[in-house]
Amino acid sequence: MNKTLSKYWLCQIGGWSTYIIVYTFFYLTLRTKEQPDFYKVLFIDAVLGVIITHLMRAFIQRAGLLKMRLDNQITYMFLTTVIASFVFAFTTIYLEDTFNLTSENFRHYSLLYKTIRTSFGSFTFLIIWNLIYFTYHYVIKSQQEQLDKVRLQSVVKELELKTIKAHINPHFIFNALNSIRALVDENPQRARQAITELSNLLRSSMQAEKVETTPLSKELNIVRDYLALEHIRFEDRLNIEYDIDEDTLSQPVPPMMLQTLVENAIKHGISKKMEGGIIKIISDFKDNHHELIVTNTGHLNGDFNPDGFGLSSTQSRLMLLYGDKAHFEIKNKSDDMVEATVKMPVLAI
């Protein structure tokens, strides 16, 4: 508040000082005859200008004119200026008459006539003052609204990312628990090992909640643990291949995103085939992008919903994190192979 008042009074003093300087300049350079009381009248006008505009500002704030719609602001600004110009003119004429400062040419006119005539000049100065005042606050208000909008978008983005993560993790846990449950009676020792693997996965998952991106190397560790659990269920029906460019291991990726793609490949591809199939994970640089590809045995058809949560969340997270600089696509690579591709901008590490 103090800073606002300081700026306001600095502008008031500077503005009305300029008024005095300009009128003095024209008086000294363009006058046809000398006016003995010129400086006294000029001083009274400047002091009244400060007082009237300050009272006008107080009325604008108290009446809440700055909070109104723009068209209403313009209307009330005009009416306020008209009233203030009459008050300004009347007070000026009254003081000049009281202290005998009125020029000889105007002394024989009535107070009303002189007030109306003077108000036209007063209106010009006051409307300029109001235009500057309203424009300043309109610009400040617009900037604040833009800042609030950016902050709101940032909060919404953060909440959306956290919501998406909250949906992914339970979905992953339920699938992992089903794999372990199948081992309890058949191979208790392997079940204990699987519980350890699940513990590692849960720990990684909890850490993933704290960040928006994670190095690909850590994401691959999660995927390997997940596939180790799924291999218990599918055994020889699940074959896994990796083609990873080591230079991409430090590239940041959305946590749990690759695991989601692999999980969908198993759910909608491998599990649909009696003979099982293959999952291949590729990471490479292409066209100045980091390209992640998951291919799997299977076929996209009417039974598969590409808008299901896992894949729609992948698209949403890429959009939130990278905008139009990232791209996701899933398609049939051949009659018996599906390919999911994620392209993200390459970030300098």
Give the per-residue pLDDT at 348.
65
Label the pairing between strands 337-345 and 327-334: antiparallel
Q: Where in the chain is the domain with CATH 3.30.565.10?
A: 182-345
Q: With contact defined as beta carbons under 8 Å apart, do 281 and 223 qualify?
A: yes
Length of the chain: 349
Q: What does each of the 349 residues of the chain score in pLDDT, given as a tens digit?
A: 455 557 889 999 999 999 999 999 998 888 877 888 889 989 999 999 999 999 999 999 999 998 888 888 889 999 999 999 999 999 998 888 888 887 767 777 888 888 888 899 899 989 999 999 999 988 988 888 888 777 766 665 665 566 555 555 566 677 677 777 777 777 788 888 888 888 877 776 666 666 778 899 989 988 998 898 888 878 889 999 999 999 999 999 988 889 889 988 988 888 888 888 999 999 999 988 999 999 999 988 755 555 454 577 778 778 888 888 999 999 998 889 999 999 999 876 5
CATH superfamily of 182-345: Histidine kinase-like ATPase, C-terminal domain (3.30.565.10)
Give the per-residue pLDDT at 309.
46
Give the per-residue pLDDT at 153.
67
Beta bridge partners of 293: 282, 341
Q: With contact defined as beta carbons under 8 Å apart, do 326 and 310 qualify?
A: no
Give the per-residue pLDDT at 203.
76
Q: With contact defined as beta carbons under 8 Å apart, do 279 and 296 qualify?
A: yes
Residues 314 and 36: their CA atoms lie apart, in Å, by: 83
Residues 6+ apart with CB under 8 A from 140: none
Give the per-residue pLDDT at 53.
94
Give the per-residue pLDDT at 6.
77
Burial readout 94-117 (b: 16 or more C-beta within 10 A, e: otherwise):
ebbeeeebbeeeeeeeeeeebbee
